[in-house]
Amino acid sequence: MSARSNSSGNKITVRSLHEKKQVGEKIVCLTAYDASFARVLDQAGVDVVLVGDSLGMVVQGNETTLPVTVDEMLYHSQMVARGLTNSLLIVDMPFLSDTSVEAALENAGLFMKQAGAQMVKLEGGAEQADIVSILVQHGIPVCAHLGLQPQRVHKLGGYRVQGREASAAEAMLQEAKILEQAGADLIVLECVPAELAETITGALSVPVIGIGASAACDGQILVLYDILGLSMGRIPRFSHNFLSEAGSIKGAIQAYVEAVKSGTFPGQDHIFS
């Protein structure tokens, strides 16, 4: 049996994520970057562990996620995979690792083959539909990432809420539908007005995971170091320091899991209008 085999039947799969949406059970997602934290998340009942390219900021101390390489993502993903038994592992495609079908297939293939990823996440809208479709055709589940896309921070002129104007909101809704049609199994919405996030969640049959989006999303994701109050600089408004109340790392992660499952997170302070 491999280290990640699990005979208890609690293993999260793409299918079980879809079932959670159908029955209205919230999906708890959190980032991790090494085996020890991954194990704590797994044991606390986090459904999805994302090796986010946010590691470029919170682990490496860069200003943006742009410098992160495929090799670095692979290194961290392999560590995280060793800590997981039940949680589903998603690995972020780092900046410019998915600019062609060939590059996307090669790099996503590395994460699946050498790190045991069960899904890859890529930023971008309708322009990514062909790449999503090819990955899916080759058996690689995809999570699409709409709204604020940190890899485009320079083009966006900062980390800003996206989709506030009616035309941008309509465009995002259409892009979400196109990505679902292309085969995406999950959609992350980052920093979008709560009303738009709710509309997109209701319009799609695949689960929608919010970060700075809406409590009405099918699940939530945050950056681990933010909820532990470890991130350098200011904690984003949409996040919350769960450690200061819980008093231990394990307690903080359990409190986050409970808050997402019960619908008490995100609250009004963590969403945008």
Nearest approach, Cβ of residue 170 and ligand KIV (Å): 23
Separation of alpha carbons 63 and 101, rounded Å: 28
Is 218 near ligand KIV (CB under 6 A)? Answer: no
Nearer to ligand KIV, 66 or 178 (CB): 66
Separation of alpha carbons 76 and 93, rounded Å: 13
- 190 included as an active-site residue: yes
- # residues near ligand KIV by CB under 6 A: 11
Q: Which residues pair with 51 in a beta bridge?
A: 91
Q: Which of residues 142-161 bind ligand KIV (CB under 6 A)?
A: none
Q: Could you tell me which stretch among 48-56, 80-88, 95-103, 154-162 binds ligand KIV (CB under 6 A)? A: 48-56
Nearer to ligand KIV, 74 or 188 (CB): 188
Is 221 near ligand KIV (CB under 6 A)? Answer: yes
Binding string, residues 172-211; x marks residues near ligand KIV by CB under 6 A: ----------------x-x--------------------x
Is 87 near ligand KIV (CB under 6 A)? Answer: no
**Half-sphere exposure in the Cβ direction for 36 (13 Å, CA):** 2
Nearest approach, Cβ of residue 95 and ligand KIV (Å): 11
Residue from 72, 123, 175, 190 carrying the catalytic annotation: 190
- Residues 6+ away with beta carbon under 8 Å from 108: 93, 98, 117, 120, 135, 140
Nearest to 55 by CA among 243, 229, 225: 225
Nearest approach, Cβ of residue 29 and ligand KIV (Å): 8
- Residues 6+ away with beta carbon under 8 Å from 226: 58, 235, 236, 239, 240, 241
Positions touching ligand KIV (CB under 6 A) are 31, 50, 52-54, 92, 188, 190, 211, 221, 223
The residues annotated as belonging to the active site are: 190
